[in-house]
Amino acid sequence: MGRGEVEQLYPVMVERRRYLHRHPELSFKEQETSAFIADVLQKAGVEMRTKVGGNGVVGIIKGSLPGPVVALRADMDALPIQDEKNTDYKSEVPGVMHACGHDGHTAVLLALAEYFAGRRDLIRGEIRLLFQPAEEVCPGGALPMINEGALDGVDVIYGVHLWTPIPVGTAASAPGPMMASTDEFFVDIHGRGGHGGMPHKTIDSVVAGSALVMQLQSIVSRSVNPLDPAVVTIGSFHAGTVQNVIAERCRLAGTVRCFNETSRELIRERIASVVEHTASSYGASASLEYVPGYPPLVNDNEETARFFKVAGGLEGIKTELTQPIMPAEDFAYYLQRVPGCFILVGAGNPEKGAEYPHHHPKFDLDEEAMGHAARILIALAENYMQEWPQPASAE
């Protein structure tokens, strides 16, 4: 695969990305985006399944030679943010914006559909293209697509996120845990209200709640393995009305982030136990609502090594090892089922206005990053197919 062949795809990637940028759709409402994708696939002669797990589209490109099934994934949803950029491709939908770059991901995968559809005689096995809806809200679109067979028979999966915190021209990943799980929890403490001057007749929910905030700090510091990063944060604490009334109720809300399922399960159990026992030690009762979010994203070691090997050889792209980052990503669900690698492709460039963080009203990306993403995904897929079948692993 030459750089020139992908450069031919570049103008149409930009055109499609800008079209999608002007016409963003919120999670689970991506009907027009989904129809746009299906239209391109149809014109490229790509076999497809539509309405997979909602608005998902699966493109299937079978090669003429036997081999593995290589899946590539792009997400397609936008965010409830008002676009504050000054570009001719800014959002035309009030209050809705592609502020995370998923328009770019879709444009890259559409270009790959055309690229691979024109090279069936060189494909060993199958290229499976997953256009996934609803990444931005949990529970998102990955699980419904998996439940409807999108991953059936898949041997390996790769995905990218165009990423403005990294300069354009750099691509980053890490073996093992790379993005955090995100769970939320809500605690209601129920005491007995009363006169501020007569505490002995009451059960003070504020005192019980305050103790709970402190007790919860011991989970990360005393229960979790110190070599596993984890966060337990109480972000909100609401109780009471006026200064001389002891509050009957108090409500706390928090978030949990970590990088492996062992810590995640441990923290969940410890929160339940600490909530129950702290409240009861103050004579109060408590209820806990725990809402699991996306799991930790864990890259396969071998596939991450493949990324560094093949992307490191691409002209104009520098690879780097990233530190784990705390945002969550539902690509994690695919990686729980098949090996693969998720890659952050640098899209930051202050000279082109691509200097704002993801989910910012002025978010934009350096579109050159789409060319890098396309070349990396093509190189990974082609390398995987070339090396198939892998040398027999240990019996």
Residues forming contacts to Zn ion in the complex (CB under 5 A) are 100
- Encoded tokens for 309: 């090997």
The CB-nearest residue to Zn ion is 100
Smallest distance from the beta carbon of 185 to Zn ion, in angstroms?
22
**Rounded-to-integer distance, Cα 166 and Cα 148, Å:** 35
The answer to whether the CB of 147 falls within 8 A of the CB of 318 is no
Angle at 368 between CA 362 and CA 373, to 5 degrees: 105
> Among residues 100 and 332, whose Cβ is nearest to Zn ion?
100
**Rounded-to-integer distance, Cα 384 and Cα 12, Å:** 27
> Among residues 96 and 100, whose Cβ is nearest to Zn ion?
100
> Among residues 70 and 100, whose Cβ is nearest to Zn ion?
100
> Among residues 124 and 362, whose Cβ is nearest to Zn ion?
362
> Among residues 100 and 381, whose Cβ is nearest to Zn ion?
100
135 is an active site residue: yes
CA 337 to mean position of chain CA atoms: 16
The answer to whether the CB of 195 falls within 8 A of the CB of 292 is no
> Among residues 164 and 205, whose Cβ is nearest to Zn ion?
164
CA 26 to mean position of chain CA atoms: 15
Choose, from 75, 135, 303, 330, the residue flagged as catalytic.
135
Smallest distance from the beta carbon of 358 to Zn ion, in angstroms?
5
> Among residues 27 and 205, whose Cβ is nearest to Zn ion?
27
Smallest distance from the beta carbon of 124 to Zn ion, in angstroms?
31
Q: Tell how strand 56-62 and strand 124-132 pair up.
A: antiparallel
Q: Which of 66, 75, 83 is nearest to 22 (CA)?
A: 83
Smallest distance from the beta carbon of 53 to Zn ion, in angstroms?
18
CA 327 to mean position of chain CA atoms: 7
Tokens 């993005």 sit at which residue?
Answer: 179
308 DSSP β-pair partners: none
Smallest distance from the beta carbon of 116 to Zn ion, in angstroms?
24
> Among residues 100 and 252, whose Cβ is nearest to Zn ion?
100
Residue-wise burial string across 274-307, b where 16 or more C-beta atoms lie within 10 A, e elsewhere: bbeebbeebebebebeeeebbbbbbbbeebbebb
Smallest distance from the beta carbon of 79 to Zn ion, in angstroms?
7
- Encoded tokens for 16: 């499609």
25 is an active site residue: no
**Rounded-to-integer distance, Cα 144 and Cα 139, Å:** 9
**Rounded-to-integer distance, Cα 244 and Cα 294, Å:** 43
The answer to whether the CB of 225 falls within 8 A of the CB of 177 is no
Smallest distance from the beta carbon of 135 to Zn ion, in angstroms?
6
Choose, from 75, 77, 136, 303, the residue flagged as catalytic.
77
Contacts of 194 (CB under 8 A, 6+ apart): 201, 202, 245, 246
Q: Which of 17, 110, 104, 112 is nearest to 57 (CA)?
A: 110
Kind plus residue range of the DSSP H or E element containing 42:
helix 31-43
Smallest distance from the beta carbon of 295 to Zn ion, in angstroms?
16
Give the residue numbers annotated as catalytic, written as ranges.
77, 135
